[in-house]
Structure 1
């Protein structure tokens, strides 16, 4: 079941709710009982390395024009 993050306007708290996608736009009440809340745009974490590998230097001799030295 998806998890949605909300922020309460009156008290400023942020909270999460697990609810079906069909209820994703339904109003949410904060844990303090306030009804004036907004759904936040969440980011998705994808597994993998935190840093990108350094680009490798061109080795030449590849296929195609200007990659294999056929242009000049």
Structure 2
């Protein structure tokens, strides 16, 4: 179930709620009971194997020009 971050405009607290995606835009009250809250843009950390270099497709690594300039 996705986690959504909120900030209360009344008291300034930030809090998290786990809820179905169907309820992502539903209003949320803060733990203090205030209802003037805003959903925050959450960042997601994506990690791979430790110490492993990223694998690049044959023919270049992408970049600004699809790998043609070696950037």
| TM more than 0.5 | yes
Give 1 or 2: higher helix fraction.
2
Unaligned runs of 5+ in 2: 54-71
Structure 1 stretches of at least 4 aligned residues deviating more than 3 Å after TM superposition: none
2:2 matched residue in structure 1: 2
Unaligned runs of 5+ in 1: 54-72
TM-score for the superposition, normalised by structure 1: 0.66
TM-score for the superposition, normalised by structure 2: 0.67
Paired residues, what number? 51
Two-structure CA RMSD over aligned residues (Å): 1.5
Greater C-alpha Rg: 1
